[in-house]
Copies of this chain bind each other. A is one copy, B any other.
């Protein structure tokens, strides 16, 4: 992807985040890119393409860092889970205000074929996380549970950090990731 394209997608994504897809106008996006709306059409055919490009590359970037946690991975599942959470949390919170739509919204606005491509990536994410948990169960590190349900809940906690996390607060991203990891593994219950 050309650097200008990338630049535009980045600007667009922060605006999608702030205003939602429909609420973001090409004028808004162009202004952020310091050019006129018509110019954007030299790089993208339609507004939807901006959304797709963003959702897809964003998701892909995350996946590429996560695909290593496949069956052949050597670390203990709990260690894998810890690392997985750290990676995803940093991904979400570093791309600050741009990466929310990723897991939450926007899909409806995509063309069918583009939507499928994104869902495909998302499914892969789910399977990787569920896979880690499943192996944890099989290796008796984790208790008997539904890997898919656990994966959903963990992903929910991670992705929604973006709503409340502030870099100016007391917690670092590592703190947040650690908390979610421990919460996922141990829960609230007191050990005796």
Residue A150 lies at the interface, judged by CB distance under 8 Å to chain B: yes
**Distance between Cα atoms of A184 and B160 in the complex (Å):** 16
Instruction: Identify which of residues 100-157 in chain A touch chain B, using a CB-to-CB cut-off of 8 Å.
Output: 104-105, 108-109, 133, 136, 140-143, 145-146, 149-150, 152-153, 156-157
Binds B, one of A2-10, A15-23, A87-95: A15-23
Does chain B have a CB within 8 A of A188?
yes
**A188, B150: Cβ atoms under 8 Å?**
yes
Tell which of B22, B149, B189 touches A22, judged by Cβ atoms closer than 8 Å. Answer: B22
Q: How far is the CB of A55 from chain B (nearest CB, A)?
A: 15
A12–B51 Cα gap in the complex (Å)? Answer: 25
Specify the chain B residue showing the minimal Cβ separation from A158: B156
Q: A163 within 8 Å of B by Cβ?
A: yes
B186 near A143 (CB under 8 angstroms)? yes
Residues of A within 8 A of B (CB): 18-23, 81, 104-105, 108-109, 133, 136, 140-143, 145-146, 149-150, 152-153, 156-157, 159-161, 163-164, 179-180, 182-191
Q: Would you give 15 A-B contacts (Cβ < 8 Å), ordered by A?
A: A22-B22, A133-B188, A142-B188, A143-B186, A145-B183, A149-B179, A150-B188, A152-B161, A153-B183, A159-B160, A160-B160, A183-B184, A183-B187, A185-B189, A186-B187
